[in-house]
Structure 1
Amino acid sequence: MKIKLPALLFASLILIGLNASSQAKLTTKESIEKLQKDVPDLMQKADIPGMSVALIRNGKLVWTGSFGVTNADTHKPVNQQTVFEAASLSKCVFAYGVLKLVDEGKLDLDVPLTKYLGNNYGVPDERINLITARHVLTHSSGFPNWRENDHSKILQIHFNPGEKWSYSGEGIVYLSKVVEKITGMSLEDFMQQTVLKPLDMSSSSYSWLARFDSLKAYRHDDLGNLTGRSEKINGGLDAINEDGNAAASLTTNAADYAKFIIAVLNGNGLKKSTRDKMLTPGIRVTKKHPELAWGLGVGLETMPDGTWFWHWGDNGDAKAFYMASVSGKDAVVYFADGSNGLSIAREILADAVGGYHPSLDNLGYERFNSSSRQLLKSIIADGAAKSLDTYRNKREKDTTQRIGEQDMNGVGYSLIRLKKLDDALAVFKQNTDDFPASWNVWDSYAEALMDKGDKDSAIKYYQKSLELNPQNDNGKKMLAELKGEKK
């Protein structure tokens, strides 16, 4: 279904647009100079080892940049041939391929997918027979993002198809199985033949290629430490099998991915009516940001300066993002080999395309210069006692410096990963002081005490957590184990 944005919204968006004048678009030369200067600085502040960035102006690729290293241990530099994890940016390119099937008359956006597949996809819920390609591409299928625990679990449908927006990688995988049935090809073969080769995306693949051994960037955590990479291995969450995953397994780089964005901006490869449907709001994403909607496979911002299409990618310790102006035909896309890759998105967009982008507010990723990251950096340098004392004094003077429960917990777990257990304990204790009614902070504090070897205190605070939340299954499990060890 199409949605209409109320008149009041447009008035408010005009005000937002005026307030965002400080983020006006720079000239192409200015943008390139800013990106070349700012990206390395942002990477250093955000602990991002390597990035690949591309700038599009007026529907043409005008600049690409390669920054940093592919591996923090080997210090191998990123270059124009380096490839990265596209993560969920995989979905957009797949959607483009699906729409080419629509143009060919091989797939109807509004015909239930079970009619093409010939079975119920192992889903006993009768609502599986209502889910269409349009539902999947607008993330309104009713599926969860991913099924619980592992792929052997029965896939659940949580609401009637088309009822609301709820992001779902499982929906995209389901549609890819339908595409394989319709075409008689594997996902990789279909995407190569239908999209990647026609767009000359020669560095891109949904499955593992031998050349990726030497070309693919590794993942890094929030402090820039090496954590591995996705590749063709025997099993495990990081495995890329021969068929690939339409929702998450595309390997590419900024220059190659820009070719897809340029095709959409210039209306290449799809009928005009189909491309227009792709970029037309189909379902509202959130009441808080009514200017945000989803088209066919892409996020949409309906703003005073026109419509923007966008997507983010998050494979944990690998991140990606793009934003593209439909009317201006300007865009930026980047890939980062670090967990904090989305923490600098605002700065990248300000340099590259300007404007106010509520999609970033809705995503809510921690900023590279957030209070919690500053505290973590301070603790690493000076220890928890001094840093927490400074933090408490600072927040008394400026309440905006106060760190939320979840972010403070994140600081604690980062310190555990660094084997700074005493510092982590101090952070978790601070969180219990700040949020004593939260069962989760007591659970985390108990976990750190257990790691420290203080079983009696760990038992005490797991019990505290369970008093606040009797449904805390992790607390029940750990408490049983600790009591068993005491005997």
Structure 2
Amino acid sequence: MTLKHSFAIFITVLVLPLFSFAQQTQNLQHPADSIDNFIHRLMEQRKIPGLQLAVIRDGKIIKNESYGLANLEHSIKTKPESIFSVNSITKAFVGVAIMQLVEDGKLKVTDPLSLHLDSLPADWQKISLAQVLSHTSGLPDIMDADEQVMGHGVEQVALDQVKKMPMEFKAGDRFGYNQTGYVLLGKIITKLSGMHFTKFIEDHQFKPAGMNLTRFGDSFDAIPNYAGAFRMTKQVGDSFVRMSSPGVGYMQFPEFFRTAAGILSTSTDMANWIIALTNGKLLKHDNSLTTLWTPAQLNNGKIGGFNGLTNGYALGWPTVTREEHQAVAPVGGGRSAFFIYPKDNLCIVVLSNLMGANPERLIDEVAGFYIPDMKEANGFGLPPAVKKLRTGLLKAGFSNTAKVMANLKKAEPTIDFNENDLNEWGYQLLKQEKVNDALAIFKLNVSLYPQSANVYDSLGEVQEIIGNNKEALINYKKSLSLNPENKNAAERWKALSGN
């Protein structure tokens, strides 16, 4: 997260008037609980028009709520029947479909593409289905520079174009998110099942799981109870400009592309699908689920994923690989996500209609309402070194950061405190309204990294928040001297100095 973005979020939380969609239109079946209040605040802060939340524990739906507006133009409230696009969560369904074919003896995930498809470029032929599913294939991407599917909706044109492109990297060398492989998987499912892949998924997943409202589609389909798509940015030239309120978004998923994205569903249907999957209704063998959810290893033995949270990728399923509360975590379009915590018998489903809402960033916090040690305020998710620092500061007080740091270094000379880790923790403390504690952490970061423009900018921000504009100006100026291109520091210095 950039400093400017972090600061904007914090100011939105504490100062600016709150967005009112969720607050005005929440559709609850019972009085609001603490989770409802949390979701309310997040929707207000992120300007999310509509959202559905489902919580599964021990194989049962224990909470299922609808919030806000499914349609802004006509002020239509979100309800249980509202249908949301889940975008790339569709890939998790494809992973299940492939494992169903494995159980039927029709393929192996180690099979090369050439075993099931003809007329492939030479570099594509030895790539395994597992590498395609886990985005480690190195295939060129079938999306163009404008993030549209090549071929203007014509499958053969799109495939002819992408087949002429060079490989992005050697298969297995790294993680590279890629849609081409999923188009190929759709062709394989269709070929081996004897029916179009959309019908195979409908018959073998939607129907047995009781997903009565779930379907394939996009913005060009007339979908009853559709919750729509909204976005906070619009393209102006080659750049994207943030708007003050959500505008309408459009999604086009040609039928041949609908293994990559294209499923629309409800939180109830998604919860029922997850229960059916984890209860053995969709996959017959226990080891099938293990295979489905095991992150792919790269050629160097490591795993690769989107970011520090969803840091691995299995067979159509992103993974959250960490010491505590590991999860499998499909995400879609920056608007919908769900986390299954296998060892905790817990799952959180969040569907929204705002592109860029990034609900995966709040799901752990929702899980914390059921597993308290997962609450961000309790230190969950902090790197090991920062956790040790936090423990020491809770005992000695944040005014004693230098002393606690010295003691940690003495006890563990190799301990290392990453600049970005400390910065992120500082912003977490700000969100928790622990401003003085955050100030102590940002000051510590400056002492550890005195040549970083970033740390002075962050310290300037927190000093501005507490009203110490004189010190804020000093730190913004120092940040600019180290990095004259720091736009946030330049803007804040100009605003505070009047120049």
From 230, 255, 260, the equivalent of 1:219 is 230
Aligned counterparts, 1:137-286, within 5 A: 137-144=133-140, 146-149=142-145, 150-151=149-150, 152=158, 153-154=161-162, 155-207=165-217, 212-221=223-232, 225-230=245-250, 238-242=251-255, 245-270=258-283, 271-283=285-297, 284-285=303-304
CA contact (8 A) 2:143 2:179 kept: no
Is the alpha carbon distance of 1:73 and 1:213 closer, same or farther for their aligned partners in structure 2, counting shifts above 3 Å?
A: same
Counterparts of 1:176 and 1:138, CA distance in 2: 15
* Contact 1:218–1:337 (Cα < 8 Å) also in 2: yes
Q: Tell me: CA distance 1:213–1:263, structure 2 relative to 1, closer, same or farther (3 Å).
A: closer
Q: Does the CA-based 8 Å contact 1:144-1:158 persist in structure 2?
A: yes
Provide the aligned C-alpha RMSD in A.
3.8
Alignment of 1:424-435 (within 5 A): none
What amino acid sits opposite 2:217 in the alignment?
A: S
Aligned residues: 343
1-side partners of 2:124 and 2:69: how far apart? Answer: 45
Gaps of 5+ in 2: 1-31, 151-157, 234-242, 298-302, 375-379, 384-419, 432-454, 465-478, 488-499
C-alpha offsets along residues 38-65 of structure 1, whole Å, 9 cap, x if unaligned? Answer: 1122111211111011101112111111
**Contact persistence 1:220–1:227 (CA under 8 A):** yes
Q: Flag the 1:168–1:396 CA change in 2: closer, same or farther, 3 A.
A: closer
Q: Which amino acid aligns with 2:269?
A: D
1:445 corresponds to? none
The equivalent of 1:13 in structure 2 is none
Q: Take 2:77 and 2:358, find their aligned partners in 1: how far apart are those partners?
A: 21
The one-letter code matched in structure 2 to 1:137 is L
Unaligned runs of 5+ in 1: 1-31, 231-237, 372-393, 404-430, 442-487
- The AA in structure 2 aligned to 1:196 is F
Q: Does the 8 Å contact 1:301/1:358 carry over to 2?
A: no
1:454 aligns with none
Specify the code of the residue in structure 2 equivalent to 1:326. P
Q: Provide the rounded CA distance (Å) in 2 between the counterparts of 1:74 and 1:434.
A: 50
Shift of 1:436: 4.8
Following superposition, the deviation at residue 310 of structure 1 comes to 0.8
Q: What amino acid maps onto 2:116 in structure 1?
A: Y
Q: Does 1:324 align with 2:324?
A: no
Higher relative contact order (CA 8 A, sep 6+): 1
Q: Secondary structure, in 3 states, of the residue corresponding to 2:55?
A: strand
2:361 aligned with 1:348: no
Partner of residue 393, structure 2: none
Q: Which amino acid aligns with 2:319?
A: L
Secondary structure class of the residue paired with 1:73? coil
Letter paired with 1:129: Q
TM superposition shift of 1:352: 5.5
Residues 172 and 246 in structure 1, CA contact (< 8 A), matched pair in contact too: yes
Alignment of 1:471-486 (within 5 A): none
Letter of the aligned partner of 1:296 in structure 2? L
CA distance in 2, matches of 1:292, 1:276: 18
Quote how far apart the aligned CAs of 1:33 are.
2.4
Once the two structures are TM-superposed, the CA of residue 278 in structure 1 deviates from its matched residue by 1.2
1:300 paired residue number? 319
User: How far does residue 184 in structure 1 lie from its aligned partner after superposition?
Assistant: 3.1
Deviations 1:385-427 (A, max 9, x none): xxxxxxxxx9768246599xxxxxxxxxxxxxxxxxxxxxxxx
Measured after TM superposition, the shift of residue 325 of structure 1 is 1.0
Against the structure 1 CA distance between its residues 216 and 437, is the aligned structure 2 distance closer, same or farther, given a 3 Å change threshold?
closer
Q: CA deviation at 1:96?
A: 0.8
Aligned partner letter, 2:228? A
TM-score between the two structures when normalised by the length of structure 1: 0.61
Secondary structure at 1:80's aligned position in 2? coil
CA distance in 1, matches of 2:232, 2:33: 28
What is the DSSP-based 3-state SS (H/G/I as helix, E as strand, rest coil) of the residue aligned with 1:334?
Answer: strand
Q: CA deviation at 1:357?
A: 5.2
Superimposed CA distance per residue, residues 299-352 of structure 1 (whole angstroms, 9 cap, x where no aligned partner) = 22343345321122226xxx1111111122201011111134216525434335
Distance 1:147 1:101 in 2: 27
How far does residue 170 in structure 1 lie from its aligned partner after superposition?
2.1
Query: SS at the partner of 1:166?
Result: coil
Q: Is the 8 A contact 1:206 1:244 kept in 2?
A: no
Moved runs in structure 1, 4+ residues, more than 6 A? Answer: 367-371, 394-397, 431-434
Q: 1:320 to 1:352 in 2, by over 3 A?
A: farther
Paired position in structure 2 for 1:17? none
CA distance in 2, matches of 1:147, 1:141: 16
Query: CA distance change for structure 1 residues 204 and 288 in 2, over 3 Å: closer, same or farther?
Result: closer
Residue 203 and residue 307 in structure 1: after superposition, are their counterparts in 2 closer, same or farther (change >3 A)? same
User: Which residue is 1:53 aligned to?
Assistant: 53
Provide TM-score, normalisation by structure 2: 0.60
Deviation at 1:129, TM superposition (A): 0.5
SS in 2 for 1:101: helix
Q: Offset of 1:296 from its aligned partner?
A: 1.8
Distance in 2 between residues matched to 1:83 and 1:433, nearest whole Å = 51
